[in-house]
Amino acid sequence: MSSTVCVVDYDLVCAAGVGLRSLRDSLAAQRSGLVPNRFPGCSLPTYVGEVSAASNYQWPESEVYWTSRNNALVELALQQGSLLDSLQRIRQLVPPERIGLVIGSSTSSIDQAEDAYRTVREQEGRPHDNLRDRVLNPHAPTIYVAHRTGITGPAVTLSTACSSSAKVFATAARWLEAGVVDAVLVGGSDSLCLTVLYGFHSLQLVSTDICRPFDRSRDGINIGEAAGFALLVRSDLPVEHTGIVLSGYGESSDAHHMSHPHPEGAGARRAIEQALARAKLAASQIDYVNLHGTASRVNDLTEGNLMAQLFPESTFMSSTKGWTGHTLGAAGIIEALIAIDTFKTGLLPGTLNLRDADPEIALRLSADNAQGEPTHVMSNSFGFGGNNASLIFSRGRG
């Protein structure tokens, strides 16, 4: 079955905005969502991209079983904009078993596991209210979305570190192209937790400063949290959509190192070239690229020099992690949606917090936003273990 993969609707929550409208305001004003770390139980001197609405989320009594910070982010994202209304329109056309779910996450509901271990130590036994097998589960965000939406089709959770929720688009496209389903709700969510904060600190990857992607003085990442969703359908399904299509995707795994990227970006190059080939586009036709750009010394050097080799100077590129922080398993979808949204707003975000470009990086970037009318945009996500994904979205090819 050959058909175009169309984007029907999308929305998100992150530190820079609860919902797309709020995020658009932050991007336009160059207002970062990063704040000095005050996360409970964590004394690390750093900045974090905390979603305060997740900290304050109150679960209805009937839904208390699902309590977790990650599920709160998922619920907040689902409530934004017209996402659930669009899903309901799809459900009027196809049965719930013909709608798939693909969600990316790296932490899932690990905050609840942390609470359970604390309680075990304090009470010298296993607390009954922590025995929730559908929450203390790597598959938890997908289980919750299925519960929340009534979708009963194929459901998978992808966990490939920072590329997790970029790869959801590729999986969904294969399902749609093969006729396994008629629509797919793709998404990603990751939440702040002590395991992640102290884990990345132990790898000496966390900056004490606000993160500065591609800057000479960059010295590490700021960890953020986020959740986002996009509703995808085949073009032969008679439903109104945005006119935006997933035109290309590429995936690779170079397995160079547990945490460091390949020094020449070999796997990243393969993912990018696959995406361009699938979209039948030359690099010069890409108008905007949302870079992985974490602000770590090695990642930015590798990605920046690779992108300078592959793309002309006319392609506007930026890292948006200065607004959101590195949202790990949610980074793929958050940054893909930021790239997609340039079709609607014409705003091409700059690289926030960039003050002094690293002279060792050939790629020339600007901290300033730009205006444009992109036709093709790309989003890169490169994870631990060499798990790479590159996505291309196009306007009006459906």
Which pLDDT value is given to residue 4?
92
Q: Taking a C-beta distance cutoff of 8 angstroms, is the pair 222, 323 a contact?
A: no
Question: Are residues 350 and 249 in contact, defined by beta-carbon separation less than 8 angstroms?
Answer: no
In the chain (398 residues long), the average pLDDT of successive 10-residue segments reads 84 98 98 97 97 96 95 98 97 96 93 83 66 89 97 96 96 97 98 95 95 97 98 93 96 72 77 97 98 95 96 97 97 98 98 97 97 98 84 83
- pLDDT in the model for residue 398: 43
Q: How far apart are CA 87 and CA 233, in angstroms?
A: 11
pLDDT at 117: 81
pLDDT for 384 equals: 66
- For residue 326, indicate whether it is catalytic: yes
**Given 162, 193, 262, 376, the catalytic residue:** 162
Residue 1's pLDDT is 42
The CATH class that applies to domain 5-395 reads alpha beta
Q: How far apart are CA 134 and CA 380, in angstroms?
A: 31
Q: At what angle do helices 20-29 and 331-345 cross, to 10 degrees?
A: 80
CA angle 169, 170, 176 (to 5 degrees): 85
AA identity, residue 283: A
Which two structure tokens, joined as six digits, stand for 223?
A: 């960890």
Q: Which of 193, 241, 262, 292 is catalytic?
A: 292
Predicted TM-score (pTM) of the model is: 0.95
